[in-house]
Amino acid sequence: MFNQLLLVAASLAATLPLAIAAPAAAAGPSSASGNPIPNKTTSSPRVTHTVVAGRPGLRFDPENIVATKGSIVEFHFLPANHSVVEAAFDAPCVPKDADSSFYSGFFPVSRNPDGSVRQSGEVFQIEVKDDKPVWFYCAQNNGQHCQSGMVGAINQDFNSAKTLAAFRRAAAGVSGPAGVKDQVQGGWRGPNPNPNGGF
């Protein structure tokens, strides 16, 4: 009887440490194999906002863009020959006087043989640098695109008087031709990565 109790105690003593050790051992490999945090610090992919210039008519579509800092605005160009130029709010149809302001150059593109609309094989991309409003227009003077309302805004402040509607009204009153920069700047002009974007 006494020997049997000893045996039970001995077997308990033998199994208990194992029972306690098991969870620790199970926890060991996962912490030791270490997946140290990277999943939580990986930055999310950039958001790209597609804007089509020239559809419908003399418009950017969309013409009001809300974009966070670091995201990309990618302009696609329809026939016949549009452009995008950054302006200051108080001077629509005039290139913004800043080295960092953007100017895309022109994108001549013809329609398909069957008359349907296609887009330029090139796009113009800009990076949104901060949360401040950005104003832009098309500098095509054949048809006075800027004065006709081919303007747009990124991150306009709806609580201020500086709205896209006010910018468009001011553009309509510009008497001279719309201006351009000397060269493409402030963004990236290159092959269209998404020829169906915006369609």
Contact 92, 153 (CB under 8 A): no
Q: Which is nearer to Cu ion, 63 or 71 (CB)?
A: 63
Q: Which is nearer to Cu ion, 77 or 89 (CB)?
A: 77
Contact 148, 58 (CB under 8 A): yes
CA–CA gap between residue 172 and residue 146 (Å, rounded): 7
Q: Which residue is nearest to Cu ion (CB)?
A: 138
Shortest distance, CB of residue 156 to Cu ion, whole angstroms? 20
Site for Cu ion, rule CB under 5 A: 82, 138, 140, 145, 150
Residue 185 is given by DSSP the state B
Shortest distance, CB of residue 177 to Cu ion, whole angstroms? 13
Shortest distance, CB of residue 54 to Cu ion, whole angstroms? 6
**In 120-131, which positions are buried (b, 16+ CB within 10 angstroms) versus exposed (e)?**
bebbbbbebeee
Q: Which is nearer to Cu ion, 28 or 108 (CB)?
A: 108
Shortest distance, CB of residue 80 to Cu ion, whole angstroms? 9
Q: How many CB atoms lie within 10 A of CB 24?
A: 8
Q: Which is nearer to Cu ion, 96 or 145 (CB)?
A: 145
Residue 37 is given by DSSP the state S
